[in-house]
A and B are shown apart, each in its own frame.
Chain A
Amino acid sequence: MIEFTDVHVRLGRRDVLSGITLSLTERRVGVVGANGSGKSTLARLINGLAMPTSGTVTVLGHDTRRHAARIRREVGFLFTDPDAQIVMPTVAEDVAFSLRRKGLSAAEVADRVEQVLSRHGLADHADHPAHQLSGGQKQLLALCSVLVLEPRILIMDEPTTLLDLRHSRVVAELLAELPQQVVVVTHDLGLLDSFDRVLVLDEGRIVADGLPSSAIDHYRKLMS
């Protein structure tokens, strides 16, 4: 459950988001909009990476302004560029790194890492250097490192923008299977077909909000 109440974000002299009031309860929520329309800012508000200038964002009942650290434990975030998310030299180590501060035993950590890697087809690469993976595999690794923490909500900011068609499909299929609530910012409109709700942003305001078909229609008209 994600709630925005009259949220404004001002960065420098620019109103990046204005008057956003939303309640997101659907399991699959898409966000589309032109470059610079405020999509990333909206996504970053949800896990407390960005803060509203005025108004409040509440996630799972907690105000992001007061409980940012706690919310980040419940909300996973996948960025566009996997190279910026992978911090350890090899695949298994990077996933294990997420669990460092969980106080698990070495055996438990190894177990969880192994599970998440094999579920997403990376088990054979456990000891590979991360820089030798393909772009798609890197994005999968970044996702594994987020999923191993079992977040209740997952935010993705253009997760397929740097991927080829095949790897975009892999991410799309994976997305369909995830049990948690997912909010995805994307330019890949096909990805949104099966979504429950799509928001269209334009210059920091929500200009359409509804089922994928109608929202995407609105977005196409806006862009033409």
Chain B
Amino acid sequence: MIGIYVPGDSLLHHLPAWAKVLGLVVSCTVLVLLGSLAALAGFSAFVAILYVVSGVGFTAAWAQIRPLRWFALVLFVMQFVLMGLDTAVVSTLRIVLAVALAGLVTLTTRFADMMTFFERCFGPLRGVGVDPFRVSLLLSLTVRSVPVISALATRVREAQRARGVSWSMRAFAIPLVVSALRHADALGEALSARGLDD
């Protein structure tokens, strides 16, 4: 959920959300079934072409994979030691490609469209008391809160540095939790004010 929509006019941008999620599921299945290096090389080319077609740019593409780099490295080294080079390349590549594809879906799908799609998926659960609107609202608030909370964290850290306080988990966590709760409170009130709590 780190990828945020990059506006564009490509074929991928115009596909409906359900088609992209379906495509993602199918591709990941294919990815698991592919075992040979040559097949995976072909698949990598396929993913690369999709990225080019989408026109999201290199920075956005790299941002999808980057968080994975250390994990991929560790995985690769372990597999290499235990199972040899071929297996290590195949299994690491599989994970990187799956993440890249998932990233491509989030990069080319407006969040609101994704929400509508989720709401439809959760629709059948209405009978057992799940409100699809609330589920998708929760998802969007979560995505929206990531930058807000990380800005709060930066502010808390800077305030402490300014006072010359040395690093302490407690001195960091307590003001952060307090300001996060205050933010949640304000958010709830703003939702009521927008008439979205009924």
Are B140 and A146 in contact (CB-based, < 8 A)? no
Q: Which of B112, B140, B189, B196 contacts A101 (CB 8 A)?
A: B196
A96 contacts the other chain (Cβ, under 8 Å)?
A: yes
Show 16 A/B contacts (Cβ-Cβ < 8 Å), sorted by A.
A49-B193, A72-B195, A73-B195, A84-B189, A87-B141, A88-B111, A88-B112, A88-B140, A88-B144, A89-B4, A89-B5, A89-B111, A101-B195, A129-B147, A131-B147, A149-B195
Q: Closest approach, in angstroms, between the C-beta of B73 and any C-beta of chain A?
A: 29
Q: Mark A147-161, 1 if CB is under 8 A from B, else 0.
A: 001000000000000
Q: Name the distance in Å between B103's Cβ and chain A's nearest Cβ.
A: 15
A76 to B193 Cα, complex, angstroms: 7
List CB contacts (< 8 Å) of B147-198 with chain A: 147-148, 151, 183, 186-187, 189-196, 198
Nearest Cβ distance between residue A48 and chain B, in whole angstroms?
Answer: 9
The A/B interface has a contact count, at CB < 8 Å, of 79
Which residue of chain B lies nearest to A75 when distances are taken between CB atoms in the complex? B193
Distance, CA A57 to CA B78, complexed state (A): 69
B interface residues (Cβ-Cβ under 8 A, vs A): 4-5, 7, 110-112, 133, 137, 140-141, 143-144, 147-148, 151, 183, 186-187, 189-196, 198
- CA A146 to CA B194, docked complex, whole Å: 7
Q: How far is the CB of B129 from chain A (nearest CB, A)?
A: 20
| Contact status of A90 and B187, CB under 8 A, knowing A69-B195, A73-B195 | no
- Contact, CB under 8 Å: A89 / B144: yes
Among A90, A101, A131, A149, point to the contact of B148 (Cβ < 8 A): A131
In Å, the complex CA distance between A110 and B189 comes to 26
| Contact status B186-A84, CB under 8 Å | yes
A1 to B133 CA separation, bound complex (whole angstroms)? 34
CB-defined contacts of B4 to chain A, threshold 8 Å? 89-90, 129
Provide the residues of chain B in CB contact with A69, threshold 8 Å. 195, 198
Whether A49 contacts B192 in the complex (CB less than 8 A), given A79-B186, A84-B183, A84-B187, comes out as yes
Q: How far is the CB of B8 from chain A (nearest CB, A)?
A: 9
| Alpha-carbon gap, A96 to B190, bound state (A) | 16
Residues of A within 8 A of B147 (CB): 129, 131
Check A86–B144 contact: CB distance below 8 A.
yes
Which residue on chain A has the smallest CB distance to residue B188? A84
- Output the least CB separation between A105 and chain B (Å): 13
